[in-house]
Amino acid sequence: MIIKSLHCFQYRNLADISFECTANINCIVGRNGMGKTNILDSIYYLAYCKSNIAAADALHVQHGCDAFMIQGEFAHEEQHYKIHCAYRNKEKIMSCNEKKYARLSEHIGLIPLIYISPADTVLISDGASERRKFIDAFISIFDKQYLHHLVTYNTLLTQRNSLLKTKHLDYDYVQIIDERMARVASAIFAIRKRVIADFSAQVAEWYARINEHEACGVVYESQLHDMSMEDLLRRNFERDCVLTHTSAGVHRDDLLFTFNGGTLKTNASQGQKKTFLLALKFAQYFAVKERKQMFPILLLDDLFDKLDKERTQKILDLIGGQDFGQIFITDTNKLLLHSFFESHKAHSRLWSLEDGTLKTEN
């Protein structure tokens, strides 16, 4: 999959930008605050129907305006997709080839895309919810049934939590919800267990390609390893009534990142954590490629931050090879990015972004 052209109108600090993209490596250089990240985020938005930066759509409307629009033309082999997003007065419309989606979930997975950004550090520093969102988004790209299970489970979870807050609890209704939750949770657990087992080995392999002297891994933590969802709900029912929410289940799953025999969060330096996140996303990229039978679009935002010279060169060698499809790279280091561009000039395009204007330098 590639994006052939992009048009952003009143999206964050991008007043009106349009450009044609090369099918290989697209380099965008500029100072901090110019909008490089917003360009990549707009491409992400067209793939996932949401921003990677902030949850509320209203926050992406340019200051002083009341709406934004993003449009991109995508292609895979002989298939072409014109994805259009418009937001105005709290209403969002997403369409593909001029056909409006009834549900945004129908669009997820059409445009395979992997985004690597400085914000990925939340996967290490923040709570389990961030890591669950990561693995759920990852699997949903190539498994529509998993996304359906997830939506169903979250709907049932909301219903159960609402019941637990009522004064006169309908136990029969709770039991019906519990039975349905147990079936869906078992399916979610089985898929996560299988995918993460393969994924962990791929992460370790990619990390070794950047630094072979360090070892890392991904461990799937779930209460369902030791007990069925039915038993979890039954055992914790009285506690849930007191807490007025469901305290056990796949919505409490987590990923443990290991590093050199300990945890990544406590044992790794900033550069090692950045290297791990790159390995994590590269592994995700090729897992999606294998399952979707197409190259995802790869977005690399502020790529070289916190990387020493040796790791930087390793990363440049990897992304400059023939293993990837379309790539977008942003950075403030004009000399480094220009040097990389010069060595891959036949397959690259370089832009500079300044004061809202995107200019090609080749």
Per-residue confidence at 345, pLDDT binned at 50, 70, 90? low
CATH for 124-292 is 1.20.1050.90
Which ranges in the chain belong to alpha helices (H)?
Answer: 36-48, 122-125, 128-142, 144-164, 171-210, 229-235, 237-243, 264-267, 270-292, 309-319, 334-343
The torsion angles phi and psi of 89, rounded to 5 degrees, stand at 50, 50
Kindly state the percentage of the chain with pLDDT values over 90.
65
pLDDT single digits (tens) 119-177: 899 999 999 999 999 999 899 888 989 999 999 999 999 999 999 999 888 889 999 99
Class of the CATH domain delimited by 1-112+294-362? alpha beta
Instruction: Quote the pLDDT of residue 256.
Output: 96
- Mean residue pLDDT of the chain comes to 90
Instruction: Quote the pLDDT of residue 322.
Output: 64
Roughly how many angstroms between the first and final C-alpha of the chain, as a whole number? Answer: 24
What letter does residue 35 receive in the DSSP assignment? Answer: S
pLDDT single digits (tens) 199-235: 999 999 999 988 889 999 999 999 999 999 999 999 9
Q: Are 322 and 294 in contact (CB under 8 A)?
A: no
The torsion angles phi and psi of 330, rounded to 5 degrees, stand at -120, 150
Reply yes or no on whether the pLDDT at 68 is more than 80.
Answer: yes
Written as six digits, the tokens of 17 are 């930008």
pTM of the full predicted structure? 0.86
Average pLDDT over residues 93-107: 92
Q: Domain locations in the chain?
A: 1-112+294-362, 124-292
The owner of tokens 């200051």 is 63
